[in-house]
Structure 1
Amino acid sequence: MGFPVDLRRCQALGLAGTAFLALGGETAGALPAQDFLAPGSVQAVLGLVGVYFGVVLLIAAWVLLGGVVRGPEPPTPRSLLLVLAVWAAPLLLAPPLFSRDVYSYLAQGAMVDAHIDVYAYGPAQLGGPLADEVAPVWQQTATPYGPVFLVVASVLSALTRGQLPAGLLGMRLIALLGVALMAAALPRLARHSGADPAAALWLGALNPLVLLHLVAGAHNDAIMLGLLGVGLVAARGRWPVLGVVLITLAALVKAPAALGLVAVVALRSRGRGPRAVLRHTVTTTTAAATTTVAATAAAGTGYGWIAALKTPVSPHNWSPTSLLGRVTGAALDQLGSGLAPFALPAWHAAGLLLTAALLLFIWLRLRPGPVYALGLSLAAVAVFGPAVRPWYALWGLFLIAAAAPTGSVRTRVAAASAVLALTVLPSGAPADVEQVILAVSGGVLALVVLWQAHQAARPQSPVRERTA
């Protein structure tokens, strides 16, 4: 008999994981400047070890829960939603983890509230304590986010009057609302795609990446994905225009969601002729354009968000095209070539061309179901775009979870998720050797604890009495 696994044990183990995450984050998270501790201090060391101890426990709980979901008596979607709520609860009041982006969101909201053009200036233009919390690399950078998100951030700024604790809590509640919309949409999209709703929830909502980056990190990707998910549900049902409106609003949070409009056309015209495709394309385009104009006018931020899509990315991002660009540029520089400055833009352009080719292949040649095609498309955008972050993987993963045609696809995506969950420090800062060692130590300690629990749960072999 192996390690005893059931829904309750998985729930308790995951709760222990997020509790350690929250506790460790109090000294090792992406803390405000006034609470920042030196990385080598005892509290910061214990916090970093504790966070990675919790991350490994959470991953283990999620993997074991996957076995329960695939078992002979899988839990209901409602039971899984309860597990999600329990796992997320300790993170509600935790400091930001794994990224400082939430401080940028709050500063941008304050800028809109102060009538500063966020598409022309970075948070440094705002000045003051709130802007000081923004990572240095983004101080002079205009926002890449759409008017819908800026309205949300501006309203939050006005409500909290620039108070940091209230702002952080408010932004996390907004992210939780996005996660709730994702969780509500997943079972419905799965049923429509012929997939298992429980498996979709396990992979797409209970995924450690969701808890670490959308809940603990309070990323605005949660709002984008939540609106995208409920928009697709509406579009495949009786409210196609409402679906287009919601998906357009998602794109006005972050631009990649605009690919959802292609899925709407495919959903509405599937199995019909070219005339139906043309009709639904015109209807979708008209509704999306009207929503864009209305939302931009209501936000009052103008159309600077279009040019802001070219906002420069961090020089240390992980994208394959950026990495190849830096390597190529360094090699050309060593050779004394004057082409070195063009290496990075050239690779970024190549990435965009490759992404476009992949999208055409997915939609015109591969032709999977619309929801699955959208998931693959968003995954391609995330991988070959100019910047890659672990939470970008959720763009495609969310919809792949809802519509993956085989269990092997889910297994591979789950394995990638588990690896990505271990790749960022809780402070959101670049790692050094000492911090990597501490993080690994926390993870190994969790594995030791899990192994000991496994050994203790094994039935003991009866001791045979010696015969004379």
Structure 2
Amino acid sequence: MAFPVDLRRCQALGLAGTAFLALGGETAGALPAREFLAPESGRAVLGLVGVYFGVVLLIAAWALLGTVVRGPEPPVPRSLLLVLAVWAAPLLLAPPLFSRDVYSYLAQGAMVDAHIDVYAYGPARLGGPLADEVAPVWQQTTTPYGPVFLAVASALSALTRGEIPAGLLGMRLVALLGVALMAAALPRLARHSGADPAAALWLGALNPLVLLHLVAGAHNDAIMLGLLGVGLVAARGRWHVLGVVLITLAALVKAPAALGLLAVVALRGRRRRGTARATVTTLVVAAATTVAATAVAGTGYGWIAALKTPVSPHNWSPTSVLGRATGAVLHKLGSGLAPLAMPAWHAAGLAATACLLLFIWLRLRPHPVYALGLSLATVAVFGPAIRPWYALWGLFFIAAAAPTGSLRGRVAAVSAVLALAVLPSGAPADVGQVLLAVSGGVLALVVLWQAHQAAQPNAPVRERTA
């Protein structure tokens, strides 16, 4: 007999997972400096084990929910949205997890509020307790974000008066708004693309990466994807101009969202065979929105040059890894070309991205929503920087328009692996911390196996024969 699976059990198991995440994060998360515990302290060790115990429970709950969604009586989207709300609830007041980027957001918002040019200076220029929370590698780095996000961060800074706990809560609420917009857009995009809305919600909104990095990590990718998704919903209907405005605002949070404008043109061209007219209208509205948003934000056009903001030297994107390896080989050979290895590989990555985008849009020509998902995935993989949550750029739209269930399965498997890739503190891992994280995950697997065994019927007792 199989492990009994239904919506309520999945909801309860996932809730247990996020509850352990929140509890473990109290001592092992990306805590403010004054609350930081040494990784070898007993409470930090217990917290790390607890976080990974929760992560594995959450992944298991999500996988089991997938069997329910694919079953003979799949839940309606409204039921899945309730599950998402229940799973996210424990994370609302948890400390930041898996990244310290939210402190950078707050510092950059405070800089804008203090009239410091965030495109010319890093958070170190701000000084004070808030800047001290920013990871050392980003202290001197200018912001890579657009004026729309900086306006949100600045308003939040003014509202919270630089208080870190209030600022963290505010950023999480902004991220939750983005996730809510994502969840609202997914079923509509799926229906338009001929996909199953419930399956789209399962892969694109209930995905552990969404809960771990967009909710718990409070990343601004949530508001980017939310605006992008809602913009596509509007643009495919009678609200073309509104859709372009929303997508442009998403691009002024993070630049990759600008690819959504290609999807708008493709959608309008399909409906009315007016590709040229749709292109001109889209470009004019996008340009006007950009000018207006930049003027309102008051941050100027430094965001254009900020697209070249340097990335961490320890970044694990394929082009960065190849750049470091090539540079090391050239250095050992005594070649003076070693410093050029990283820029050369990054340029090769950009060239490969351009070629693949042309192939997707001009040769493959899949459904525009699916093409957008493939394009954003390409940008994430071949770009100069990559983080686990970058996978959500393409995954969100692939979830909405994936042509086959097997493709969803492969994307889900990648998501589950990426969900285990980062420590809750956001710091680089050492061997001891990896072992503790593995211990937490193994403990969760043992508990799940015991629950599975307890759910099995008792084996029949054979009568002895004389």
Same fold by TM (over 0.5)?
Answer: yes
Distance across 1 between alignment mates of 2:271 and 2:359 = 19
Structure 2 runs not aligned, ≥5 long: none
Deviation sequence 1:254-304 (CA, Å, 0-9, x none): 00000000000000011655xx11111000000000000000000000000
- Give the Cα–Cα distance (whole angstroms) in 1 for the partners of residues 31 and 24 of structure 2: 11
- Distance in 1 (CA, whole Å) between partners of 2:254 and 2:429 is 28
Aligned to 1:453: 451
Q: Could you tell me which residue of structure 2 aligns to residue 16 of structure 1?
A: 16
1:167 matched to 2:167: yes
Cα drift, residue 230 of structure 1 = 0.2
1:134 alignment partner, SS class: coil
User: Counterpart in 1 of 2:44?
Assistant: 44
- Alignment-mate amino acid for residue 105 of structure 1: Y
Partner of 1:311: 309
Q: What's the CA shift for 1:79? A: 0.1
Aligned counterparts, 1:85-124, within 5 A? 85-124=85-124
**Counterparts of residues 109-258 of structure 1 (less than 5 Å):** 109-258=109-258
Distance 2:272 2:323 in 1: 44
List per-residue Cα deviations over 1:6-31 (Å, max 9, x = no partner). 00000000000000000000000000
Distance 2:447 2:404 in 1: 33
Structure 2: distance between partners of 1:402 and 1:343 = 38
The alignment status of 1:59 with 2:74, answered yes or no, reads no
Question: Which residue, 362, 365, 374 being the options, matches 1:364?
Answer: 362
Establish whether residue 401 from structure 1 lines up as the match of residue 396 from structure 2: no
* Partner Cα distance (1:375, 1:360) in 2: 14
Give me the whole-angstrom Cα distance separating, in 2, the residues matched to 1:455 and 1:93.
35
Letter in 1 for 2:52: Y
The CA deviation string for residues 297-318 of structure 1, in whole angstroms up to 9 with x for no partner, is 0000000000000000011111
In structure 1, how many angstroms separate the alpha carbons of the residues matched to 2:92 and 2:314? 29
Quote the Cα distance in structure 2 between the aligned partners of 1:24 and 1:413.
28
Match of 1:375 in 2: 373
Instruction: Name the % identity.
Output: 89
Deviation at 1:169, TM superposition (A): 0.2
TM-score, normalised on structure 1? 0.99
**Superposed CA offset, 1:397-444 (max 9, x none):** 000000000001100000000000000000000000000000000000
Q: How many angstroms apart in 2 are the aligned matches of 1:147 and 1:83? A: 34
The CA deviation at 1:465 is 2.2
| DSSP 3-state at the match of 2:117 | coil
Q: Deviations over 1:51-75 (max 9, x none)?
A: 0000000000000000000000000
Residue number in structure 1 paired with 2:343: 345
Residue 83 of structure 1 and its aligned partner are, at CA, apart by 0.1
Question: Shift of residue 205 of structure 1?
Answer: 0.1
Task: Write out per-residue CA displacement over residues 26-60 of structure 1, whole angstroms, 9 at most, x where no aligned residue.
Answer: 00000000000000000000000000000000000
Q: Deviations over 1:363-393 (max 9, x none)?
A: 0001100000000000000000000000000
Q: Letter of the aligned partner of 2:284 in structure 1?
A: T
Q: Does 1:423 align with 2:418?
A: no
Number of the residue aligned with 1:387: 385
Alignment of 1:258-269 (within 5 A): 258-269=258-269
Q: Give the match's secondary structure for 2:316.
A: coil
Shift of 1:460: 1.1
Within a 5 Å distance, the mapping from 1:274-293 to structure 2 comes to 276-293=274-291
Is residue 2:319 matched to residue 1:321?
A: yes
Q: Return the alpha-carbon distance in structure 2 between the equivalents of residues 48 and 188 of structure 1.
A: 38
Aligned residue identity for 1:89: A
| Matched length | 466
TM-score by structure 2 length?
A: 1.00
Partner of 1:466: 464
- What letter matches 2:115 in structure 1? H
Q: Pick from 405, 412, 415: which aligns with 1:414?
A: 412
The runs of at least 4 aligned residues of structure 1 exceeding 6 Å deviation read none
Whole-Å separation in 1 of the counterparts to 2:321 and 2:55: 27
Q: What RMSD over aligned residues (CA atoms) do the two structures have, in Å? A: 0.6
Query: 2:131 and 2:429 mapped to 1: Cα distance?
Result: 24
5+ residue gaps, structure 1 = none
**How far off is 1:105 after superposition?**
0.2
Q: CA deviation at 1:466?
A: 1.4
Code of the residue aligned with 1:220 in structure 2: it is N
**Displacement of 1:464 after TM fit?**
1.6
Q: Deviations over 1:86-123 (max 9, x none)?
A: 00000000000000000000000000000000000000
Is 2:357 the partner of 1:354?
no
| Deviation of the 1:467 alpha carbon | 2.2
- Secondary structure of the structure 1 residue equivalent to 2:340: helix
Alpha-carbon separation, structure 1, partners of 2:414 and 2:237: 32
Deviations 1:320-360 (A, max 9, x none): 00000000000000000000000000000000000000000
- Whole-angstrom distance in 2 between the partners of 1:23 and 1:300: 40
Query: What letter corresponds to residue 217 of structure 1 in structure 2?
Result: G
Q: Secondary structure at the match of 1:270?
A: helix
**In structure 2, how many angstroms separate the alpha carbons of the residues matched to 1:49 and 1:191?**
41
| In 1: Cα distance, 2:364 partner to 2:445 partner | 41
Aligned to 1:80: 80
